[in-house]
Chains A and B, each alone.
Chain A
Amino acid sequence: MTSPSPGAGLEAAFLAHRDALLRFLRARGAGDAAEDLLHEVWLRIQASTPGPVASPLPYLMRMADLLMIDRYRSQRQADKRDRDWTEVHSDLAGVSAEPSPERRAAAAQEAAAVLRVLDRLGPRAASAFRRHRIDGVAQREVASELGVSLSTVESDLRIAYRALGEWKERRDEA
């Protein structure tokens, strides 16, 4: 193949839109760490092999967005129960491979609580959430699977996200 690799296209887009990405990271709350996080995006581009990317800038924005969400989550791991949960589920080297039975039980309880929240949304919204967030199906496809409009799926997901946000707040306050 003589065409440039997709990675090279992303790198070029990164360099062309460096300022926009930096502004985005600051808007996302990166503060003084914005430059470091921008470098992290750069490293992730080089490590990734995404295949052809139709619109590089939205792709890079989402990459930066997900980086910020990961960062938020790892900062919150100071919360002990989040740490327990990660230790039960993580395959990462260096994390205990044999969680205690208590931890397993706690994780199972948490999973049951999440399923209860989803259940209360009703079957359509619960299916939409599962297909989109667990099976990774795009919202547009979920809409055609369920025979409803895209805006209905968006509205179902919005309600699901709101409910899960409340679940998480209750859980962290408890």
Chain B
Amino acid sequence: MTGKDTMRDDAIRDQAARWAVLTGEPGFEDWEGFMQWLEADPAHARAYDAVSAAVAQAAELAAQAPEPVTPAANDDDTDHSAHAAPRRFWLGSAVAASLAVIGSLWVWHGSSRDLYTVETAPGQMRSLDLENGTRVDLAGATVIRLDRKDARYAELDTGQALFTVRHDAARPFHVEAGDATLVDLGTVFDVTREGAHLSVGVAEGAVGYNPKAENLRLAPGDRLVAEAGAVTLDKVPASQVGEWREGRLTFDAAPLREVADRLSRATGIAFAARPGAEMAISGSILVTPVRDDPQMIGALLGLDVRREGDRWMIGKP
């Protein structure tokens, strides 16, 4: 199977999982939309059957297993010892620590905007509904500012966010990221900002970049990278845009520093690039195994991995 096929299959599996979640909710109405998706490709029904059957079987198996203690909504840790054995299944992972939302603090920004900040911890993901049909998914270690009075505005301070925007030509959605302004033209797009480095990938629709300066129009599959005043355009498979929400990271000739940043963001475990090692890394990985065992990244991406203090240094083997 070629890499392209694998990617396509992955995208179909993602869509199938999404539909399986939607059809499982009582009151689901969009059977017409589901039918159209099914009719678009016979592989869709097969993928939907496979994931539905897997989930049904897993639920039956899990129901047979010892009942875990359901964490309370205000999950405090006082009763861990009393339920140590069953809780092992549920709170073993590092995600428990990042479950607490770092919080939203209100920030006044001049007189026109009423901004507040939402942050995620490394390894955390969070989905924000801004208004009907418009959503922002935040990757880990991300800081974003939103406007209480204007649901069509966001500032990305640092990190990565996937914007799913219901297009309204009269009220375009604006994203400010450092010096850059992005304007939706009906859209799903992903923005990553690390200091002066900005990357924008478009999955659906189109995005305008700096309408008052360069005024570039990005179409699905376009990726823009802006760094130190230089803007470059290349391609990214549209199915890869926002795949981090499903716990997958894909690197395409990425420098080590970028690999380390993105791994840290996704896992909540500190990775760093060993100084002086220049390498271009390619590969697509699932985050979960690396979160369980940071050493795994060595085998997955052909890297040397060493622990130094509280960080994992990655470099040339």
Contact = CB atoms under 8 A, between A and B. Distances in A.
Interface of A: 23-24, 27-29, 54-55, 57-58, 61-62, 65, 68-69, 72-73, 76, 82, 85, 89, 107, 110-112, 114-124, 126-127, 129-134, 138-140, 145-147, 149, 151-152, 154-155, 157-169
B95 A123 contact: yes
Question: Could you tell me the dominant secondary structure of chain B's interface residues?
Answer: helix
Contacts of A154: 18, 21-22
Query: What's the dominant secondary structure at chain A's contact region?
Result: helix
Interface in B36-74: 38-39, 42, 45-46, 48-65, 68, 70-71, 73
A143 B62 CA distance: 21
Nearest to B288: A120
B27 A111 contact: no
Interface stretch (B85-93, B147-155, B277-285): B85-93
Nearest to A148: B127
B75 A123 contact: yes
Given A161-B20, A168-B58, A111 B29 contact: no
B92 A119 contact: yes
B58 A117 contact: yes
Given A27-B39, A154-B22, A157-B21, A55 B27 contact: yes
Contacts of B60: 89
Contacts of A134: 59, 62-63
B38 A73 contact: no
Nearest to A132: B24
B71 A123 contact: yes
Contacts of A29: 38, 42, 45-46, 49
A54 B46 CA distance: 30
A67 to B, nearest CB: 12
B245 A120 contact: no
A115 B14 CA distance: 21
